[in-house]
Structure 1
Amino acid sequence: MAGGTEAFPDLGKHCQLSGCHQLDFLPFKCQACHKVFCVEHRSCKSHECPEPEHNSRKVIICEICSTSIEITGKEDQEKIILDKHEKSGNCDPRKKKKPTCPVKRCKETLTFSNRTICKTCRLEVCLKHRFPADHACKQASSSTPAAADRGSWNEKFLVAFGLRNGKDCGKSGRPSSSTTPSLKAY
């Protein structure tokens, strides 16, 4: 069966699935069986491809150590590859338990993208608890000299602010508010 139309005989292809033979102007070529199919039958499952595992990639996870292993090929190879992985020495059951955030009642699993180390206490926590106040940082609460300095500075400021009573506010060169003419909106 040739594809296309009378005016353009080389345009498009007919689906090679028996019973379909639909003319498709944008046909799909199966990478496994190298036949041409329409959009409805392009997947290996839809046209019952004899070689569906050709160039397929899968990732299996070891149940012992939670390591992900990429495989290409058929399902019966999974067991063989997992057996090789277990015997290789790289399979360590201690790797299975993922670290969690040490903050009380936080069950967040620490991964490479959501963990941080506190610069003060060097504790590794999740991003939600990255600030010292959020994870009850031990050194932040024990660093009382810095907190005392801040407190004494605050107290000095508040005392000076209270003694001011409107004096030295830059009003010495301006007329008082009672002599300032008011503007009325019409």
Structure 2
Amino acid sequence: MIEGIVLRVAKSAILSRFDSSYSFDKKALEDEYPFLKESGASFVTLKHNGKLRGCIGSIIAHRTLLEDIINNAISSAFKDPRFKALSKEELTNLNLEVSILTPPEILEYEDYEDLLKKVTPLKDGLILNYGSYQGTFLPQVWDELKTQELFLEHLSYKAGANPSIYAYHPTIYRYRVEAIEENFDEVLSL
């Protein structure tokens, strides 16, 4: 049940930008699905013909899960600075993924070698934080970067640094996600 409503909310938020009939009553939705009222963090990822088309999210919960999914779905489709706004024609062959994040926890480690041992491939999402450098990778990134070394190397680049940053013992947070994915055409509207 959680999977279906989460996908339907994200899809309806995107479709409402093309057709106002996809708008919905947020209060009624929260009354029917109380977990949507709780504070939550999510990422919404769009892929068109298998290629990344938008990905925006929240690392830390700072609003209700419903508001977070709605805002991140709209931002992923229309405000991701790497892409132009989604067009109606792109709705075909579009894949929608909503990831619900657990609260991040500090990952204690002694040094880089210890960090490598404590990172769990395919499960851990990581946040690197050191001064003005910050970046995150969802656990789904393990599909492309299959070793701890590659994952951490590319995470440092995403944060705007390079792998030598690990010599300075940056703060690393770990989180997990529940990723819910479906072809956009198959997600039922509200």
Q: TM-score, normalised by structure 1?
A: 0.21
Richer in strand (by share): 2
Richer in helix (by share): 2
Relative contact order, higher structure (CA 8 A, sep 6+): 2
